[in-house]
Amino acid sequence: MGWGRKTYFTGYRKPADWASIGLVGDQLSFTTDETVTKLGLGYIMNQSVECAMDTAIRFTLLNAGENGVLSAKQMLNQHTRLAALVEENLIADGWYRPDATEENPNPKPVRGWVYEENMTKLWQNKITSEWYYTNAHFSAGALGADVKVVKIHREIQVTKKGNYYYNQEGKKIENFTTHPVIGNERALVNVLDDKTVLKSINKSLNRMVKSGKARQVTIGRGRTFSWNAWNWLEKYRHKHLLTMAKQRKLGDVVNGWQFTKGEINLMYGVEICDHKWEPVEKLGYYSIVMDVPTWFRDGWTHAVALRSTELPYLFLCEEEATDVCDQLNSNNYPLNGVSIRKNSEPQTPSYRIKHTYVTRMRLNGNAPVEDYMTPQEMFTQMQLGPKERYDALTKTMDLYPAKFAGSQKNKEE
């Protein structure tokens, strides 16, 4: 089997994989609140890889409700019974051959979660690196063959340097035949007795309490447990309620400010917004750009290209910017010296207007916007006033533009 290169299969998978074979329900019995359902199930489904029973117990404790406290015996249900089959290695990530039909008399093997028809163990648990969390427990070539499918790895040290080889032992199964779990869940939940399922549940609970996945409420015989993430769920449920209980109507306009959703976050399909007031009209400023014809070397010849630079003229009014730009373009340049020419035409500097939009300007959704100036008035005072005025206005805003005009000092010297 090679020197230290044998794949170790594992019972760890993502919760979504366990949910695909029925270890997690799609509804919660204690509530009809869609927000609670989405958040609770989303929380479970987005955990990192874990054992099948861990996922089934997470769902069982969540399904008991906020005040639900359960003992291991009270956790006996279809989800934990199926999970116990995985823990007992009776359900495997492998292959099965669909039933033959007239159209397809020799169907190809299909990968899926399966069980052997005589309920023989199919694999052995072994913790491994994440690289193997998606590997099948056996290959499709095993179907119909006489195979050893129970992988028992016995490590034997063969050198002082710590190299190992792995000897494989297992029970021989004649005419290896498997069936898909999906579609046969109802029959499978009755395979194991309660004692075996409870043993698997308690083993998982010990592990979950130690790692913080579940909370132990009482100790001793008949110890009880509860879900560990109710505070998290309530926090995001409250945020969603604030999102939905809008004090303003989306699209309302007051003093040039419009009520919007602001930043939108989806928490497991639940929309959570932090409402903002944003300017109805785009704000911006105008500047003047000078385009200067310049010689540059192009191989053995010279060519003319424009080099642009933005002049230190800033305007909040387009009309003022246009007047200054026209004045600059009307200037007569000195005729002394040899001018740069292109196609016999003299090349002289030209001026144009550049419009820059300002996007960083927002108020909190709870701001008393009736008492605020219009966005344009605030923007003008922030830019043309002293820095102390700029600082005062920014304290009333969630997002504000940089100061690029006017005095940068608190007081004029």
What does the pLDDT read at residue 151?
A: 46
What does the pLDDT read at residue 364?
A: 85
150 and 24, same structural domain?
yes
125 and 192, same structural domain?
yes
Q: Which residue has the tokens 């395979």?
A: 191
What does the pLDDT read at residue 172?
A: 63
213 and 289, same structural domain?
no
Contact (Cβ atoms closer than 8 angstroms) between residue 150 and residue 126: no
What does the pLDDT read at residue 132?
A: 73
Name the domain boundary from 215, 231, 247. Answer: 231
Residue 397 lies in a domain: no
Does the pTM surpass 0.75? The reply is: no
What does the pLDDT read at residue 105?
A: 87
186 and 115, same structural domain?
yes
185 and 291, same structural domain?
no
166 and 17, same structural domain?
yes
- The span from the CA of 5 to the CA of 24, in Å, is 35
**Coil, strand or helix at 268:** coil
225 and 312, same structural domain?
no
Q: Which of 31, 82, 67 is nearest to 227 (CA)?
A: 67
Owning domain of residue 345: 283-358
The residue ranges of the chain whose pLDDT is under 70 are 1-9, 126-131, 145-173, 242-248, 299, 301, 332-339, 406-413
Name the domain boundary from 188, 203, 231. Answer: 231
What does the pLDDT read at residue 51?
A: 93
What does the pLDDT read at residue 77?
A: 96
Residue 345 lies in a domain: yes
- The span from the CA of 77 to the CA of 81, in Å, is 6
Name the domain boundary from 198, 231, 264. Answer: 231
- Helical segments of 246-344, H only: 318-329
What does the pLDDT read at residue 374?
A: 93
**Coil, strand or helix at 184:** coil
344 and 210, same structural domain?
no
Residue 272 lies in a domain: no
What does the pLDDT read at residue 383?
A: 87
Q: Per the structure, how many domains does the chain have?
A: 2
292 and 163, same structural domain?
no
- The span from the CA of 384 to the CA of 403, in Å, is 9
What does the pLDDT read at residue 72?
A: 95
Q: Which of 16, 19, 37 is nearest to 28 (CA)?
A: 37
Q: Which of 6, 25, 110, 12 is nearest to 63 (CA)?
A: 25
Residue 62 lies in a domain: yes
Residue 337 lies in a domain: yes
